[in-house]
Amino acid sequence: MRNYSERSFNKERGQISQNEPKPLPLGEKCNYLCPYFRCNKRALMIQTKYVKGSPYKVGFCRWVGDTCITGECQYAYCEKRALLPGNRCAFAVNKRTDGDDMEKELKESDEYEDKVKDIISKKLGKKDLDLI
């Protein structure tokens, strides 16, 4: 019988405990070297290639016979469910604050309204500017 109290389990989705490996995104993009990246076809193979004597790791898809395209592949998934559309990693995406977004939208909408007023006034002529 298993003792579930010993297992590291977090109730919140996307949380990583101290005992687990950390995700390895490349910028905001998903990485095939991440410990949570998986291929549903089990076709991912990590190869070590050498360029001018220095080694680097390359993901190779045995199913297609070419390099892995990571999150763009339909069979790619993340064990932590952190793979977002557009090959982005949820662990790497910055949490945006709502206040900054609202200010940007307000500024953009004001600029948009001014541009629309200018275009309409040019079409109608300067005489009907009061109607706008």
Model confidence at 21, in pLDDT bands (50, 70, 90)? confident
Q: Which long-range contacts (CB under 8 A, 24 or more apart) does 52-59 make?
A: 57/33, 59/32, 59/33
Residue 99 confidence (pLDDT) above 80 = no
**pLDDT attached to residue 17:** 72
75: pLDDT strictly greater than 80: yes
Amino acid in position 60:
F
Cβ 75 vs Cβ 39: under 8 Å: yes
Contact in structure between 36 and 82 (CB atoms under 8 Å): yes
